[in-house]
Structure formats: C-alpha cells, structure tokens
Amino acid sequence: MLVFSVIKNLLFFDSCILNFFIPYILLEKFLRFKVKSQYVIILMLITCNIPFLIVSKFNIESVYQWIPTAIWIFMFSLIFCKGTYLKKIIITIAYVCFNELIQYVTIPVTYMTDYYIIIANSFYKAEQVRAIINYIFLIILQLLYLLILNFIVKNHYFDYKFKNFKYTIFFVVPNVFIVSLICEYFKLYYKNNMRNYLLGNIKMLGFAFTGLICAVFTVITLAKIAQETIIRERELLLKQQFSIQTQHYKDLQVQIKNTRTFRHDINNHLICIKNLLLQGDIKSTENYLKKITRSLEKISLRVSTGNSFADAVISEKYNISIDKGIDFKCDAKIPNKIKIDPFDLCIVLGNALDNAIEACEKITDNSIKKYIYITSTINKSFIVFEIKNSMKGYIKEKHISTDKGDYVNHGIGMMSIQSIADKYLGTTYIESRENMFILNIMFQI
C-alpha cells in the first residue's frame, strides 16, 4: 500500500513539473522573455494556479475550462515576452489546442482504467494502480508534447518578429476547428455514456490522437510556409543589395580614377602655383590652393592597405565613423595581386563595417567606448580579416538578434559575407565578449 502511495505521489509531482515547464518552454523558445529567466520562473510559479482557482471558484464546465488558461497564457506573454500581438495569439492558441487535445486523449484512458482494472477485490489497491497508470499515461503525453515542441523549434522555427496576418489565420482556423470538432464529439461521448464502453473509449482516443497529429502538421506546415516566404524575400533583397553594391563599386572605380588623374596632374598644379607666386599674385595663389585642397579632400584615402579598392571602401567607412564619434583604426595589409574579385572584396568589407558602425551607434552608455578596429593576417594561401567593434551587451549562443522592425532585412549583410566567403573556399567565425563583437572572415588567396 505504502509503495503504491509513494509511486503515485512521485508521478503526480513529475506531472506537475512537466505541466509547469511546458508553457515556460513554449514562451521561451517561440517568443523569448523581456526579463531574466529566474524572474519568469518565480512569477509563473506564483500565477500558474490562477486558472484552476477560477475554474473551481465559478464551477466552470469542463468544456470551457480552457478559457481561463488561454487568458492567463496570453496576459503573461503580453507582459513578459517579446514578439507581436499576432504571434502571441498564435502561441496562446497553440498551447490551448495542444493542452485540450492531450486532455481529450487522457480522459478515455482514465475511464478505461477505472472500469477494467480490478485487483484481488481490493478497492483501495485498485484505485492506487489506476491513479498510477493514469499519471504514467499523462506523463508520456506531456513528454510527447515536449518532443513536439523540440521538433518544431529545431526544424521549423520561424522568427519571433513574424507578423503576417494571413499566416495567423492559416494557423488559427484549422486548429480551432479541430479542437471544436473533438469537443463536440466529447459532449456526445459524455452525454451518451460512451465512456462506459470499451469501443466508445477507443473511438474517443482515436479522434483525440487524430486531432493531435493534425494540429502538429498544421504548425509544421505554417512554419515551412513562413520560412519559404522569408527566404524568398531575403533573396529578393539580396539581389537588390548586390545591385546597390555594383553601383557603389562603379563609384569607387571613378574615385580611384580621379585619384590617379589628380596624382598625374600634380606637377602641372605645382607649375601653376610657382608661376603665380613669381608674378606676386598672392590672392590668386590662395584661391588656387583652396580649389586643390577641396579636390584633394574629396578623393583622399584615409588608409593604405596595399589594395586600392579596399582603401576606397575602408576610407569611406572611416570618414563615416569619425563623423559619428567612433574611434576607427585600420592595420590591414592586402596583397595587390589576390584572387578575390574587387567587387566581392568591396561587398565584404562594406557590409562588415556597416554592421560595426550600426552596433556602435546603438551604444547609449557613455562608459562604453565606441570603436572599430580592422586587421588582417596572411597565413600561407589564406587571408583572414578581423573586424572588432564595441557593442551593447553581448550575443548569446552565437545567435545574432535584431531590434529592427523589418525582420526580413536582418542578416542580409551577413548572408552576403558568408556567400562570398564560401565562393573563395573560406568561412566566417563570430566571437562575442561583453560589449565586444568580433567577426573573422577568411578567404583563399
């Protein structure tokens, strides 16, 4: 007797733990929290029983007991989680639907154990065994719920900024329809005493499992559609960015040509200045020098890497950084005769430095120095660029998040860099420390 009681209590405790962690994992994986995890756990422990208290207080029928739970999940996500309202609605409906489906699977099993387990005419022992079997089955279903969540997160996860209304409708309608259909069948099951018959319980179990499978496939299908849409939009943006970079590359070529022309004409300028000075025309000399200075400022390069295209790109980002109060240092040396196409080199350096400038701009703490340092290392047939910049906070688990409103644009620059690195049999590597971000880019030369 004591053994059965201990086992039952342990299984009950395990079930409560799983019942707590399911909404926690759902919110953490799909929305992410605004506050620290430990605070969320404490608040969930304090508030998780509110729906059950409401059900008990107002004696709500079993068919409608999901309503307080749905309100609690939505309000909790609204206050403590990131993401849009539509995404929070999706998560709330997902939790309620799966929770209801698991309950509909559990109920017929409970009735079957009640009617078909008899142990040596011992009512108490039979009750203990029934409770143990019910808890075991409930725990199995809860673990299945966690496995489904884990599968979706690993294979079909879509960005928490996802906010397309048509996908929300696509998710909500089928799942609500599935649960409503099973709910209506459950009413018949309960009203017609089908719970007292083995065939009736098997039918209810079959319907509930079918609904659970359909709900899982609905979520997976939604995630796939969302991912494919994001990929298509990113590809379009990537093409647009390459077009912009091509124009920028052409502008750089013009700038380099103008620099060479100026250097070629410098002797003629000096001759003109010399003649003006010999004539004693100081005013004309001053005006002429001002014109030359203005022309020189437009084409002057702030860095010298040994590669004229890299010099042009880095010099442009240098000027932008200095204007924004960012300390900029370049100690990169690039062989003039490398296999990397100048166009590709411009895209990589331009995107990497644009990201670094953007990260520095987001720093609001005056105690954090704004800086960008770029270096290069040549090792046999490879060159490695290291772009180091300050940033606010740090990156968790090498996952780059964004606070931009346009979630599709996020990652386009890094996609360009990675694509070009792959093209030259190279790779990219990200390091993150507190208030520091380091991007390493390797190319075969």
Residue pLDDT, tens place only, 205-219: 888 888 888 877 877
| Sign of the torsion formed by the C-alpha atoms of 84, 87, 89 and 92 | negative
Beta strands 382-390 and 371-379 are antiparallel
Q: What is the 3-state secondary structure (H, E, C) of the chain?
A: CHHHHHHHHHHHHHHHHHHHHHHHHHHHHHCCECCCHHHHHHHHHHHCCHHHHHHHHHCCCHHHCHHHHHHHHHHHHHHHECCCHHHHHHHHHHHHHHHHHHHHHHHHHHHHHHHHCCCCCCHHHHHHHHHHHHHHHHHHHHHHHHHHHHHHHHHHCCCCCCCCHHHHHHHHHHHHHHHHHHHHHHHHHHHCCHHHCHHHHHHHHHHHHHHHHHHHHHHHHHHHHHHHHHHHHHHHHHHHHHHHHHHHHHHHHHHHHHHHHHHHHHHHHHHHHHHHHHCCCHHHHHHHHHHHHHHHHHHCCCCCCCCHHHHHHHHHHHHHHHHCCCEEEEECCCCCCCCCCHHHHHHHHHHHHHHHHHHHHCCCCCCCCCEEEEEEEEECCEEEEEEEEECCCCCHHHCCCCCCCCCCCCCHHHHHHHHHHHHCCCEEEEEEECCEEEEEEEEEC
pLDDT along the chain (445 residues), means of 10: 78 83 85 86 86 85 82 91 82 83 81 62 63 81 78 55 57 78 79 76 84 79 72 70 65 66 70 78 81 63 79 85 92 85 86 90 90 91 93 62 44 78 89 89 89
Q: What is the pLDDT of residue 75?
A: 92
HSE of 97, CA atoms in CB hemisphere, 13 A: 27
pLDDT of residue 160: 42
Give all domains of the chain, ordered by start, each with its CATH number: 2-236 (no CATH), 302-401+408-445 (3.30.565.10)
Q: So what's the pLDDT on residue 312?
A: 80
As beta bridge partners, residue 382 has 379, 444
CA–CA distance from 343 to each of 311, 314, 375, 385, 402 (Å)?
13, 14, 20, 16, 27
Q: What is the pLDDT of residue 396?
A: 56
pTM for this predicted structure: 0.52
Give the per-residue pLDDT at 58. Answer: 85
Give the whole-angstrom CA distance, residue 321 versus residue 387: 14
Q: What's the pLDDT score for residue 400?
A: 46
Q: Decide: residue 13, CB within 10 A, 0-12 exposed, 13-18 middle, 19+ buried.
A: exposed
Residues in the chain: 445
pLDDT of 238: 67
User: What is the reported pLDDT for 372?
Assistant: 95
- The whole-number pLDDT of residue 357 equals 92
Distance CA 301, CA 298 (A): 9
